[in-house]
Amino acid sequence: MLRRDPEHRPSRSVGVGRAGRRPDGDRSTLWHTMACLGSMAPMSAQPEITQRDLRNRSKEIMDAVQNGKAFTVTRDGHRIGELIPLRRRRRFVPREEFSALSRSAPDISLDAFREDQDSTAEQGQGDRYAG
C-alpha cells in the first residue's frame, strides 16, 4: 500500500509551491501572498485560489476583492466560481455635473412633466397595501 506524505499538499494553482513556500523554504508573508493571490492559471484572466485558501485567508482575500481584485475559486483543481468586486454606484451626482447635463437636456413641456408626475403618484391609489 502506498502512503502519501502527510506534509505534502499538492497545489492546485499554477505557480504555488508547497503551502506557498519559496524554493529555499522561507515562508515570508509577502512571498506567500504573491504566490497564492498572484498566481495565474494558463487560461484564466484572473488569479485562481483554492477553496482552502478562501477558507483560511478569507479576510485577506476579501480585502483584495474590496480593493478591486477578482479571483477564480477552485475545488479539486476545477473552477467552481468567481469572486468579483461589485461596481459601486454613486448615490449623488455632483452639482457641477448635474448643471452640465441639465444645460444640454432637451426642453420638455411643463404639462407633460406634470402628467408624468401625476401618473406615477397615482399608481398605488387602488392598492390597499400601499402606504
In angstroms, the CA 117 to CA 41 distance is 53
Structure confidence at residue 35 as a pLDDT band (50, 70, 90) = low
Structure confidence at residue 15 as a pLDDT band (50, 70, 90) = very low
Q: Supply the pLDDT for residue 61.
A: 95
DSSP for 95-131? HHHHHHHHHTSPP--HHHHHHHHHHHHTTTTT-TT--
- Least confident range from 15-29, 39-53, 85-99: namely 15-29
State the chain's mean pLDDT as an integer.
Answer: 74
Domains present along the chain, CATH in parentheses: 18-83 (3.40.1620)
pLDDT tens-digit readout, 48-105? 999 999 999 999 999 999 998 999 999 999 999 999 998 877 778 889 988 988 888 8
Per-residue pLDDT, averaged over 102-124, amounts to 83
Structure confidence at residue 40 as a pLDDT band (50, 70, 90) = very low
In angstroms, the CA 68 to CA 128 distance is 45
Q: Is the pTM of this model over 0.85?
A: no
SS3 label, residue 50: strand
Q: Supply the pLDDT for residue 53.
A: 94
Most confidently modeled range among 6-15, 50-59, 105-114, 120-129: 50-59
